[in-house]
């Protein structure tokens, strides 16, 4: 159970920024966030805080985050004991939030802070509970990656009762009741895009085009993207199991029709049917499909095992808090969460 479960949160906005090896770009992002929170304070009277979650970085991300000035908003810096992954970092920020509404955004500078004002407007003025951003287009991406994204969302939403919007990102704002609903999700294997859609409430899509990285290089290579895709599919959707069942049914029907045709050729037409090539091909196809289906089942069994173990999603090694207008800085050691 999360230590913050049931804690009453004040009215305001918490901006959660997961970061992994983002030391070089964090000060520039922080200056933009200070400008953003100043405008939200002056124009809307909205209290804000920023929670930087260092997901086991190998550089000075936490050291820099813990010294960033709290000029117009409180600043929390949280260092996880190791790299637990982005989903765990998002959950850590959600647990540490002291205000009701939550804005998730990346620490690489590709999510423009200026756009957050539009998300806040959709929440406060038009009463949307979830305002999520989605890529306007993928024209600048390689064709193979565009195709992979389309296949991923087609499989993910196959026969889904609560489809996940295509190309939706983690850059989104949740109202207090939507954030509370997200906290009530008990599963350990979390896929925030899916969970944010599943909770329902009033949601709206906001198209945008991510800005190029100003510093460093992306940590999202093909292997990481493939891993996240498998995690999302097996954590949130039963589509792979259904597709495996359909594939097995298709192979069974094909085998039945092929067997019927062989009997017809042998009995009616009197033709001798060569057996070796067809037997070898059949064994290879069926064997390959069986291994594929066993792999899919294994992924789901691994998720079940993870849920049964109930291990913490993350551990906090160190945390600091700077309150706006105050010079002191506290750095308490934290227990597991």
Give the pLDDT confidence of 274-295 residue by residue, as tens digits.
Answer: 665 666 666 767 777 777 777 7
In the chain, what is the greatest distance between 2 CA atoms, to the nearest angstrom?
95
Alpha-carbon span 33 to 145, nearest angstrom: 31
Confidence of residue 14 (pLDDT cuts 50, 70, 90): very high
SS3 290: helix
pLDDT at residue 276, rounded to an integer? 56
Residue 331's contacts (CB-CB under 8 Å, 6 or more residues apart) are: 66, 318, 319, 320
Tell me how far apart the alpha carbons of residues 211 and 4 are, in angstroms, rounded to a whole number: 34
Average model confidence (pLDDT) across the chain: 76
Q: pLDDT value at position 162?
A: 66
Of how many residues is the chain composed? 337
In the chain the beta strands, taken as DSSP E runs, fall at: 10-19, 48-54, 74-80, 99-104, 130-135, 168-174, 203-208, 316-322
The arithmetic mean of pLDDT across residues 299-313, rounded, is: 75
| DSSP-derived 3-state class of residue 47 | coil
In sequence order, the 6+-apart residues with CB closer than 8 A to the CB of 193 are 164, 168, 169, 170, 232
Task: Return the pLDDT at 1.
Answer: 39
- Percent of the chain having pLDDT more than 70? 65
Pull the structure tokens for residue 148: 């992979």
Under a CB-based contact definition with an 8 Å cutoff, are residues 158 and 236 in contact?
A: no
pLDDT, tens digit, for every residue of 156-191? 666 666 667 777 777 889 989 888 888 888 777 777
Alpha helix stretches (DSSP H) within 109-238: 116-124, 143-156, 176-183, 192-198, 222-236
pTM value? 0.69
Residue 267: pLDDT over 80? no
Q: pLDDT for 241-266, tens place per residue?
A: 667 777 777 777 777 777 677 667 76
- pLDDT level of residue 238 (50, 70, 90 thresholds): low
């Amino acid at each position: 159970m999360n230590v913050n479960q049931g804690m009453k949160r004040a009215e305001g906005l918490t901006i959660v920024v997961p970061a992994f090896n983002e030391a070089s770009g964090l000060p520039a992002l922080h200056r933009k966030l200070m400008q953003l929170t100043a405008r939200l304070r002056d124009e809307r009277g909205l209290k804000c805080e920023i929670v930087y979650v260092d997901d086991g970085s190998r550089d000075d991300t936490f050291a820099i985050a813990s010294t960033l000035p709290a000029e117009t908003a409180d600043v929390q810096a949280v260092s996880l004991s190791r790299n637990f992954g982005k989903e765990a970092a998002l959950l850590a920020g959600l647990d540490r939030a002291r205000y009701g509404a939550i804005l998730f955004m990346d620490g690489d500078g590709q999510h423009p802070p200026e756009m957050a004002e539009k998300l806040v407007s959709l929440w406060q003025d038009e009463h949307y509970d979830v305002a999520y951003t989605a890529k306007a287009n993928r024209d600048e991406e390689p064709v193979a990656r565009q195709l992979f994204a389309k296949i991923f969302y087609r499989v993910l939403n196959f026969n889904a009762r609560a489809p996940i919007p295509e190309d939706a990102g983690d850059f989104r704002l949740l109202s207090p009741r939507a954030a509370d609903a997200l906290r009530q999700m008990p599963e350990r294997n979390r896929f925030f895009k899916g969970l944010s859609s599943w909770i329902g409430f009033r949601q709206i899509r906001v198209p945008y085009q991510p800005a190029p990285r100003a510093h460093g290089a992306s940590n999202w290579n093909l292997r990481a993207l493939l891993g996240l895709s498998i995690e999302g599919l097996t954590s949130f959707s039963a589509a792979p199991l259904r597709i495996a069942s359909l594939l097995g049914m298709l192979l069974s029907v094909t085998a039945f029709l092929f067997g019927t045709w062989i009997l017809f050729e042998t009995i009616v037409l009197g033709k001798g049917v060569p057996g070796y090539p067809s037997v070898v091909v059949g064994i290879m196809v069926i064997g390959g499909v069986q291994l594929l289906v066993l792999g899919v089942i294994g992924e789901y069994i691994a998720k079940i095992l993870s849920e049964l173990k109930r291990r913490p999603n993350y551990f906090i090694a160190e945390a600091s808090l700077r309150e706006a207008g105050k010079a002191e800085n506290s750095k308490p050691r934290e227990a597991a969460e």
